[in-house]
Copies of this chain bind each other. A is one copy, B any other.
Amino acid sequence: MFNFVIMKRKAVYFDNAASTPLDREVLQVMEHCQWEVYGNPSSVHEHGRKARVELEQSRRTIAGIMNVSPSEVFFTSGGTEANNAILWGCALDGRIRNFITSPLEHPAVLRPLELICREKGMGLHYVKNGNTGHVDLEHLSLLLGKYPDALVSLMHANNETGNLIPVKAVAELCREHGALFHSDTVQTIGKFETNIQKLGFDYAVASAHKFHGPKGAGFMVIKGGREFSPIIRGGGQERNMRAGTENVYGIAGMAKALEISAGRIEKDMEHISGLKSELIRLLYENIDGVQFNGDAEGSSLYTILNITLPARVDPEMLLPALDIEGYSVSTGSACSSGSNKGSHVLEALGRSGTEASLRVSFSRYNTIDEARGLAGVLKKLCTG
């Protein structure tokens, strides 16, 4: 008798900008809460107080790491909701009359801005980007001169290319003109030492599942009590800024995930930057005509690498081929991968959309062997 054992290799996960695996310690915190803490944090009895304690302890942990006051942290269901809430909130208040953004922003900023400006008759202005996708500061200054009553929305790190904006320079320009500065910081929180105070954001947002926390939990930082008109209304939760029973377990897990990530940022940065450099090196060495989108080797987030392969690679076959080889990567943002359109980011960077491009995004769980394995498979796809 023979025993057949079919070995199923687990696919290597290189799509951490889309979502990350939960940290085991985060899972433990969540399991405890899910079983023990079932009261509604708005209830004033023993069960409610227990949930309230979890909630406020999480807020304090997060505020401490962000270097803001707990009163400046508001929980949401994630980054998309937080972006929508901030943009709507500022528009409903009537404090601003114009928005300045970039064509490279995430749809969670571009789509609400289009709706808001249509509904409220507000101006929507796009700042130019150079070839590598960096924001044109002179043009931004020009726009701010024209529209000082604006909210500027520019993401900290681009989710497709990893490009970083010069945060302090943008914040300084906004301050000079009296404009507000919102940044979609979903890709950077938990990956940089995010000192909101020092960086100069008026509004920042986070999504727990981007830093080994749970899906369904996020937060917004609203500096200096710039309270605004909430978009989700109902009960008095989150000091009237976001109605709806709080996702207590998700929030407790998020606080733990941020605490863990913040405590090991330097170590992770070194490890992950090493993976990215090694992949760049191997691809340059082995694939003639490979290109990296954005400012991959310059001012770029260490967790993201956006690659365009030579023309001989069929763009339609790239992801399926990598999937079969056991590598989970994406072409661009997961949020738009359901649609057949090319990436609006790569298009804005001058790509035609007919090239075979992919985004590799790393986490602390990836290894150098996985990066080398991917390089090998990409080489094979380009020569095979």
A→B interface (CB under 8 Å): 11, 13, 15, 18-22, 27, 30-31, 34-35, 38-40, 42-48, 51, 77-81, 83-84, 92, 106-109, 111-112, 115, 119, 207, 209, 214-217, 229, 231-237, 243-250, 319, 322-323, 326-330, 333-339
B322 A45 Cβ-Cβ under 8 A: yes
Measured CB to CB, the nearest residue on chain B to A80 is B244
Measured CB to CB, the nearest residue on chain B to A320 is B44
Query: In the bound complex, what is the Cα–Cα distance between A338 and B339 (angstroms)?
Result: 43
Given contacts A216-B216, A234-B106, contact A243 B319 (CB under 8 A): no
A84 B245 Cβ-Cβ under 8 A: no
Query: In the bound complex, what is the Cα–Cα distance between A211 and B323 (angstroms)?
Result: 39
Residues of B within 8 A of A235 (CB): 80, 107-108, 333-336
Q: Nearest chain B CB to A307's CB is how many angstroms away?
A: 16
What would 19 more interface pairs be, CB under 8 Å, given A45-B319, A92-B115, A111-B234?
Answer: A11-B46, A11-B47, A42-B335, A44-B323, A48-B328, A77-B78, A77-B244, A84-B232, A92-B119, A109-B234, A112-B234, A214-B247, A214-B249, A216-B247, A216-B249, A231-B231, A235-B335, A236-B339, A243-B335
Query: In the bound complex, what is the Cα–Cα distance between A250 and B209 (angstroms)?
Result: 13
Of the candidates B27, B46, B51, B248, the one whose C-beta lies within 8 Å of that of A323 is: B46
**This chain: copies in complex:** 2
A43 B337 Cβ-Cβ under 8 A: yes
Query: In the bound complex, what is the Cα–Cα distance between A360 and B51 (angstroms)?
Result: 19
Q: Nearest chain B CB to A37's CB is how many angstroms away?
A: 10
Top 9 nearest A-B pairs (CB, nearest first) are A235-B335, A216-B247, A108-B234, A77-B77, A80-B244, A111-B233, A45-B328, A18-B40, A19-B40
A48 B339 Cβ-Cβ under 8 A: no
B107 A216 Cβ-Cβ under 8 A: no
Q: Nearest chain B CB to A234's CB is how many angstroms away?
A: 3
Q: Nearest chain B CB to A354's CB is how many angstroms away?
A: 19
